């Protein structure tokens, strides 16, 4: 009986999948070119038949009842106070409620242990905290929450100084703990969120040496303990791991790195897990999901590791999300999209996080602006939303329009789904159409006389 019924079922599925309101292959693959879509569908079919990640969407998840709109800033690099002020004014007017802002250790405790006077340009010295106090005060005026990123140790923390890399960890992890306690204590009641380190699983964020998830876990737990001692209400974000497939000593696949961290006891040393959300060559709608592919939904694989180790109640905050508009003369290290695509993909990234991922809280766009255009030959420069003179690029306008729309804010209950019906439709059309084609070949093929 099934042999007679399945062609009818296939026809029904094909009709539904091709209905005028059906989604597109872009909605499935995040690819706009026909060739990329074709390869993407094949890739997605391979994804669809594999075991799906454990996401635990129905558990009570902390720290998700927040505005999703965050922005990466480099305010510490702006020499003029009025430029910092204008940056915060513009991003707040655009609807952004969080900034992820680095508080570089090497720029605060510069010359030695307990020395918070900056004598690099003036022998008499100036207070190293002054610039950061100004940033915190401006954030309060504009009602913006700060996620303070604490990393980049000064040279005095290492016997080998900078020969092991300017971003290498300190020889004594307690020195880092003391710095964390200083920052958390100084801004108690003013900054609630602190991210400890950044991308420790890749070069050069762990210096000129092999990455070490167990050592980073010890550093993390030292910082976590000291932060909670300084302010029990402080909320600690795990360093965002770089999404990479490399396993070459100085770089380690983020999923392997995270698993080893959990085995070393990291689960008790952070409140929020961070992820990077770069789209690279495909848009935010890309549904493909494999550990060896880096795309926007990569955080689902991190979520699977969290759930496996009993951390399903913790959220993921996306530290950096963005698409790169590198011109032809600049190497597309981070992919390459048009200015129009950059803005459209950015909006779709926020939409998807709110629609599909109830475990995701703040999504921080990478990045607002740089202080000048001296990095025009570097690919990273082409993530920017504003020019150094504050001229807005198309992506900034697109995000501002979206973030200012009340309908874009998190709903009380977001659907906890892996794929929506709209996103399934293209693949279903291909599969059902293919089956019907094979069936027709079988029916119409000449049969040997018996």
| DSSP 8-state secondary structure symbol assigned to residue 161 | G
**Looking at per-residue confidence, does 162 or 319 come out higher?**
319
133-172 residue pLDDT tens: 999 999 999 999 999 999 999 999 999 888 888 899 999 9
Sequence length of the chain is 450
% of residues, the chain, pLDDT over 70: 84
398-427 residue pLDDT tens: 999 999 876 665 554 333 334 444 555 566
Does a structural domain hold residue 378? yes
Cis? peptide before 22, omega within 30° of 0: no
Does a structural domain hold residue 442? no
Cis? peptide before 141, omega within 30° of 0: no
Does a structural domain hold residue 39? yes
- How high is the pLDDT of residue 166? 86
Q: In what side-by-side order are the strands of the sheet with 316-322? A: 235-238, 193-196, 145-150, 98-102, 69-73, 360-365, 316-322, 273-278
The number of domains in the chain is: 1
| DSSP 8-state secondary structure symbol assigned to residue 133 | H
Does a structural domain hold residue 446? no
Task: Say yes or no to pLDDT of 318 above 50.
Answer: yes
Task: Say yes or no to pLDDT of 2 above 80.
Answer: no
Distance from C-alpha of 276 to C-alpha of 320, rounded to nearest angstrom: 5
Distance from C-alpha of 394 to C-alpha of 432, rounded to nearest angstrom: 40
383-393 residue pLDDT tens: 999 999 999 99
Contacts of 264 (CB under 8 A, 6+ apart): 213, 214, 217, 218
Contact between 256 and 214 (Cβ < 8 Å): no
Distance from C-alpha of 112 to C-alpha of 109, rounded to nearest angstrom: 6
- How high is the pLDDT of residue 448? 60
List, in sequence order, every residue forming a beta bridge with 322; answer none if it has no partner.
278
List, in sequence order, every residue forming a beta bridge with 235; answer none if it has no partner.
193
Average pLDDT over residues 59-76: 97
Long-range contacts, stretch 412-416, CB < 8 angstroms, 24+ apart: 414/354, 414/355, 414/356, 414/357, 414/358, 415/355, 415/356, 416/55, 416/57, 416/58, 416/356, 416/358
Report the candidate in 315, 433, 329 with the shortest Cα–Cα distance to residue 382: 329
Residue 194 is encoded by which pair of tokens? 């602190």
pTM of the entire predicted model: 0.88
List, in sequence order, every residue forming a beta bridge with 237; answer none if it has no partner.
195, 272
- Across the chain, mean pLDDT equals 89
Report the first-to-last Cα separation within the chain, whole angstroms.
24
Average pLDDT over residues 71-76: 98
Containing structural domain, residue 97: 2-418+427-437
Distance from C-alpha of 306 to C-alpha of 289, rounded to nearest angstrom: 17
Contact between 184 and 231 (Cβ < 8 Å): yes
Q: Which residue reads 């009818």 in tokens?
A: 8
284-309 residue pLDDT tens: 999 888 788 899 999 999 999 999 99
How does residue 25 score in pLDDT terms, banded at 50, 70 and 90?
confident
Contact between 298 and 282 (Cβ < 8 Å): no
Does a structural domain hold residue 448? no
How does residue 87 score in pLDDT terms, banded at 50, 70 and 90?
very high
Report the candidate in 359, 294, 330, 383 with the shortest Cα–Cα distance to residue 72: 383
Does a structural domain hold residue 450? no
Does a structural domain hold residue 449? no
3-state secondary structure of 321: strand
List, in sequence order, every residue forming a beta bridge with 407; answer none if it has no partner.
none
Does a structural domain hold residue 383? yes
**Looking at per-residue confidence, does 430 or 229 come out higher?**
229
Distance from C-alpha of 241 to C-alpha of 261, rounded to nearest angstrom: 11
Task: Say yes or no to pLDDT of 75 above 80.
Answer: yes
Average pLDDT over residues 217-234: 98
How does residue 22 score in pLDDT terms, banded at 50, 70 and 90?
very low
Distance from C-alpha of 321 to C-alpha of 323, rounded to nearest angstrom: 7
Contact between 178 and 219 (Cβ < 8 Å): no
- Here the CATH number for the domain that contains residue 40 is 3.20.20.80
Please report which helix (H) or strand (E) contains residue 334, including its range. Answer: none
């Amino acid at each position: 009986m099934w042999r007679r019924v399945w062609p009818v079922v296939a026809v029904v599925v094909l009709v539904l999948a091709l209905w005028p309101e059906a989604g597109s292959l872009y909605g499935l693959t995040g690819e706009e070119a026909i060739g990329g879509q074709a390869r993407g569908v094949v890739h997605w079919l391979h994804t669809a038949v594999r075991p799906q990640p454990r996401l635990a969407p129905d558990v009570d998840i902390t720290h998700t009842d927040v505005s999703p709109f965050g922005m990466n800033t480099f305010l510490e690099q702006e020499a003029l106070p009025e430029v910092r002020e204008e940056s915060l004014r513009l991003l707040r007017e655009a609807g952004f409620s969080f900034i992820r802002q680095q508080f570089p250790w090497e720029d605060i405790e510069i010359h030695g242990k307990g020395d918070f006077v900056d004598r690099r340009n003036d022998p008499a010295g100036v207070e190293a905290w002054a610039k950061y106090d100004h940033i915190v005060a401006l954030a309060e005026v504009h009602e913006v929450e700060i996620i303070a990123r604490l990393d980049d140790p000064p040279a005095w923390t290492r016997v080998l100084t900078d020969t092991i890399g300017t971003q290498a960890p300190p020889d004594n992890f307690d020195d880092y703990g003391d710095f964390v306690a200083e920052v958390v204590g100084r801004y108690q009641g003013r900054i609630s969120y602190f991210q400890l380190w950044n991308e420790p699983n890749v070069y050069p964020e762990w210096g000129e040496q092999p990455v070490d998830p167990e050592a980073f876990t010890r550093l993390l737990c030292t910082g976590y303990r000291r932060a909670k001692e300084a302010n029990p209400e402080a909320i600690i974000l795990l360093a965002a791991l770089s999404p990479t497939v490399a396993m070459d000593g100085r770089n380690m696949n983020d999923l392997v790195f995270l698993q080893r961290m959990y085995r070393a006891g990291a689960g008790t040393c952070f409140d929020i897990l961070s992820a990077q959300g770069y789209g690279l060559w495909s848009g935010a709608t890309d549904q493909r999901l494999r550990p060896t592919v880096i795309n926007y939904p990569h955080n689902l694989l991190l979520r699977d590791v969290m759930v496996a180790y009993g951390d399903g109640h913790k959220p993921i905050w996306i530290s950096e999300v963005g698409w790169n508009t590198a011109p032809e003369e600049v190497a597309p290290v981070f992919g390459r999209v048009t200015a129009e695509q950059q803005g459209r993909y950015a909006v779709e990234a926020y939409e998807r996080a709110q629609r599909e991922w109830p475990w995701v809280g703040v999504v921080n766009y990478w990045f607002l602006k740089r202080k000048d255009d001296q990095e025009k030959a570097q690919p990273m420069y082409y993530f920017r939303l504003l020019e150094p003179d504050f001229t807005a690029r198309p992506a900034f306008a697109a995000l501002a329009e979206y973030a200012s729309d009340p309908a874009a804010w998190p709903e009380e209950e977001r659907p906890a789904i892996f794929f929506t019906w709209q996103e399934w439709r293209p693949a279903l059309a291909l599969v059902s159409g293919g089956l019907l084609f094979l069936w027709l070949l079988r029916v119409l093929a000449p049969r040997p006389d018996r």
